[in-house]
Amino acid sequence: MVKYRYCPHCRGELSDSGEYYQCLSCQRKVFTSSSPCVSILPVKNGKVLLAKRAIDPKKGAWDSIGGFLKEGENPELAAKRETKEETGLNIKLSNLLGIYTDSYEYEGQVYETLNLYYLAEIIGGEIKPEDDVSELVWFPIEKLPENVGFKSFGEALEDLKDWYRANKSTL
Protein backbone atom coordinates (compact mmCIF):
# COMPACT_ATOMS: atom_id res chain seq x y z
CA MET A 1 0.00 0.00 0.00
CA VAL A 2 1.22 3.50 -0.79
CA LYS A 3 2.29 5.33 2.35
CA TYR A 4 1.71 9.07 2.50
CA ARG A 5 3.49 11.42 4.89
CA TYR A 6 2.05 14.85 4.12
CA CYS A 7 -1.42 16.34 3.72
CA PRO A 8 -2.35 17.25 0.13
CA HIS A 9 -4.33 20.25 1.46
CA CYS A 10 -1.95 22.01 3.88
CA ARG A 11 1.21 19.87 3.69
CA GLY A 12 1.00 19.06 7.38
CA GLU A 13 2.17 15.71 8.73
CA LEU A 14 -0.27 12.81 8.42
CA SER A 15 -1.07 10.16 10.99
CA ASP A 16 -2.14 6.71 9.77
CA SER A 17 -5.19 5.23 11.50
CA GLY A 18 -5.24 2.18 9.23
CA GLU A 19 -8.52 3.15 7.54
CA TYR A 20 -7.43 6.63 6.49
CA TYR A 21 -4.80 9.27 7.10
CA GLN A 22 -5.55 12.33 9.24
CA CYS A 23 -3.67 15.58 9.04
CA LEU A 24 -2.20 16.63 12.38
CA SER A 25 -2.42 20.30 11.34
CA CYS A 26 -5.76 20.85 9.56
CA GLN A 27 -7.47 17.66 10.85
CA ARG A 28 -8.70 16.66 7.37
CA LYS A 29 -9.07 12.99 6.62
CA VAL A 30 -7.25 11.66 3.56
CA PHE A 31 -8.57 8.41 2.07
CA THR A 32 -6.76 6.07 -0.29
CA SER A 33 -8.46 3.55 -2.53
CA SER A 34 -7.68 0.83 -5.04
CA SER A 35 -6.82 1.87 -8.58
CA PRO A 36 -9.29 0.52 -11.17
CA CYS A 37 -7.90 -1.63 -13.99
CA VAL A 38 -9.40 -3.45 -16.96
CA SER A 39 -8.19 -6.77 -18.30
CA ILE A 40 -9.31 -8.22 -21.61
CA LEU A 41 -9.38 -11.90 -22.55
CA PRO A 42 -10.20 -12.27 -26.26
CA VAL A 43 -11.60 -15.77 -26.83
CA LYS A 44 -11.84 -17.56 -30.18
CA ASN A 45 -12.17 -21.26 -31.12
CA GLY A 46 -11.32 -22.51 -27.64
CA LYS A 47 -8.26 -20.27 -27.33
CA VAL A 48 -7.50 -17.05 -25.46
CA LEU A 49 -5.09 -14.32 -26.55
CA LEU A 50 -2.48 -13.54 -23.87
CA ALA A 51 0.31 -10.99 -23.72
CA LYS A 52 3.90 -11.40 -22.54
CA ARG A 53 4.98 -8.39 -20.47
CA ALA A 54 7.80 -6.35 -22.02
CA ILE A 55 8.37 -4.20 -18.93
CA ASP A 56 8.53 -4.46 -15.17
CA PRO A 57 6.83 -5.24 -12.98
CA LYS A 58 6.76 -8.92 -13.93
CA LYS A 59 8.70 -8.53 -17.19
CA GLY A 60 8.60 -11.77 -19.21
CA ALA A 61 5.51 -13.15 -17.46
CA TRP A 62 2.23 -13.85 -19.21
CA ASP A 63 -0.58 -11.41 -18.57
CA SER A 64 -3.92 -10.30 -19.88
CA ILE A 65 -4.24 -7.37 -22.25
CA GLY A 66 -5.19 -4.28 -20.27
CA GLY A 67 -4.17 -1.59 -17.86
CA PHE A 68 -5.21 1.26 -15.60
CA LEU A 69 -8.26 3.39 -16.27
CA LYS A 70 -7.56 7.06 -16.89
CA GLU A 71 -9.26 9.47 -14.50
CA GLY A 72 -13.00 9.52 -15.25
CA GLU A 73 -12.70 6.87 -17.99
CA ASN A 74 -15.48 4.34 -18.58
CA PRO A 75 -14.25 0.70 -18.16
CA GLU A 76 -15.57 -0.33 -21.61
CA LEU A 77 -13.73 2.53 -23.33
CA ALA A 78 -10.59 1.77 -21.31
CA ALA A 79 -10.76 -1.89 -22.40
CA LYS A 80 -11.03 -0.90 -26.06
CA ARG A 81 -8.23 1.70 -25.72
CA GLU A 82 -5.85 -0.66 -23.92
CA THR A 83 -6.49 -3.46 -26.43
CA LYS A 84 -5.80 -1.15 -29.38
CA GLU A 85 -2.64 0.24 -27.72
CA GLU A 86 -1.20 -3.16 -26.81
CA THR A 87 -2.32 -5.34 -29.73
CA GLY A 88 -3.51 -3.18 -32.65
CA LEU A 89 -6.87 -4.97 -32.43
CA ASN A 90 -10.43 -3.70 -32.12
CA ILE A 91 -12.74 -5.60 -29.77
CA LYS A 92 -16.31 -5.98 -28.69
CA LEU A 93 -16.76 -6.85 -25.01
CA SER A 94 -18.98 -9.85 -24.36
CA ASN A 95 -19.10 -10.80 -20.65
CA LEU A 96 -17.64 -9.63 -17.39
CA LEU A 97 -15.69 -12.70 -16.24
CA GLY A 98 -15.03 -11.39 -12.74
CA ILE A 99 -13.73 -8.68 -10.44
CA TYR A 100 -10.50 -9.29 -8.50
CA THR A 101 -8.18 -7.39 -6.18
CA ASP A 102 -4.40 -7.38 -6.40
CA SER A 103 -1.23 -5.41 -5.68
CA TYR A 104 0.95 -3.68 -8.26
CA GLU A 105 4.50 -2.70 -7.31
CA TYR A 106 5.93 0.21 -9.27
CA GLU A 107 9.12 2.15 -8.51
CA GLY A 108 9.22 0.99 -4.90
CA GLN A 109 5.56 1.71 -4.14
CA VAL A 110 2.83 -0.92 -3.85
CA TYR A 111 -0.54 0.09 -5.27
CA GLU A 112 -3.74 -1.81 -4.54
CA THR A 113 -5.79 -2.53 -7.68
CA LEU A 114 -9.38 -3.44 -8.48
CA ASN A 115 -9.33 -5.50 -11.69
CA LEU A 116 -12.31 -6.00 -14.01
CA TYR A 117 -11.73 -8.98 -16.34
CA TYR A 118 -13.79 -9.01 -19.54
CA LEU A 119 -14.21 -11.64 -22.23
CA ALA A 120 -14.04 -10.12 -25.70
CA GLU A 121 -14.44 -10.79 -29.39
CA ILE A 122 -11.97 -9.41 -31.93
CA ILE A 123 -13.80 -7.40 -34.59
CA GLY A 124 -10.90 -5.91 -36.56
CA GLY A 125 -7.36 -4.59 -36.70
CA GLU A 126 -3.97 -6.16 -37.33
CA ILE A 127 -2.44 -8.13 -34.47
CA LYS A 128 0.92 -6.71 -33.41
CA PRO A 129 2.46 -6.54 -29.92
CA GLU A 130 2.96 -2.90 -28.97
CA ASP A 131 3.33 -0.59 -25.96
CA ASP A 132 4.34 -2.75 -22.95
CA VAL A 133 3.77 -6.12 -24.69
CA SER A 134 6.62 -8.17 -26.24
CA GLU A 135 4.59 -11.10 -27.57
CA LEU A 136 0.97 -12.13 -28.20
CA VAL A 137 0.02 -15.82 -28.26
CA TRP A 138 -3.25 -17.74 -28.62
CA PHE A 139 -3.30 -20.40 -25.88
CA PRO A 140 -5.79 -23.27 -25.70
CA ILE A 141 -8.00 -22.48 -22.70
CA GLU A 142 -7.43 -26.00 -21.37
CA LYS A 143 -3.58 -25.55 -21.54
CA LEU A 144 -2.75 -22.11 -20.17
CA PRO A 145 0.77 -20.97 -19.22
CA GLU A 146 1.91 -21.22 -15.61
CA ASN A 147 4.26 -18.21 -15.64
CA VAL A 148 1.62 -15.57 -14.89
CA GLY A 149 2.52 -12.14 -13.61
CA PHE A 150 -0.20 -11.32 -11.12
CA LYS A 151 -2.33 -13.15 -8.56
CA SER A 152 -5.57 -11.75 -9.99
CA PHE A 153 -4.61 -12.94 -13.48
CA GLY A 154 -4.07 -16.49 -12.21
CA GLU A 155 -7.47 -16.39 -10.49
CA ALA A 156 -9.12 -15.07 -13.65
CA LEU A 157 -7.55 -17.86 -15.73
CA GLU A 158 -9.03 -20.46 -13.37
CA ASP A 159 -12.43 -18.79 -13.76
CA LEU A 160 -11.93 -18.70 -17.53
CA LYS A 161 -11.37 -22.47 -17.56
CA ASP A 162 -14.56 -22.97 -15.54
CA TRP A 163 -16.49 -20.64 -17.88
CA TYR A 164 -15.16 -22.48 -20.93
CA ARG A 165 -16.06 -25.93 -19.58
CA ALA A 166 -19.58 -24.72 -18.81
CA ASN A 167 -20.07 -23.03 -22.20
CA LYS A 168 -17.93 -24.84 -24.79
CA SER A 169 -20.87 -26.78 -26.21
CA THR A 170 -22.56 -23.49 -27.14
CA LEU A 171 -19.48 -21.68 -28.48
Query: Structural domain tally of the chain?
Result: 2
Are 122 and 114 contacting, i.e. CB atoms less than 8 angstroms apart? Answer: no
At 1 the pLDDT is 56
At 21 the pLDDT is 86
Range of the domain at 3: 1-32
Mean pLDDT, rounded, for 81-96: 98
Same domain for 39 and 28: no
Same domain for 136 and 110: yes
CATH number assigned to the domain comprising residue 115:
3.90.79.10
Same domain for 41 and 28: no
Which helix or strand (DSSP H or E) is residue 133 part of? strand 133-140
pLDDT tens-digit series, residues 17-60: 778 888 999 999 887 888 999 999 999 999 999 999 999 999 99
pLDDT tens-digit series, residues 141-154: 999 999 998 999 99
Confidence of residue 168 (pLDDT cuts 50, 70, 90): confident
At 49 the pLDDT is 98
pLDDT at 92 > cutoff 60: yes
pLDDT tens-digit series, residues 122-142: 999 999 999 899 999 999 999
pTM of the model: 0.87
Cβ-in-10-Å burial (0-12, 13-18, 19+) of 126 comes to exposed
Confidence of residue 108 (pLDDT cuts 50, 70, 90): confident
Find residue 152's DSSP bridge partners: none
What is the average pLDDT value for the chain, to the nearest integer? 93
Residues labelled as active-site residues: 135
Same domain for 121 and 44: yes
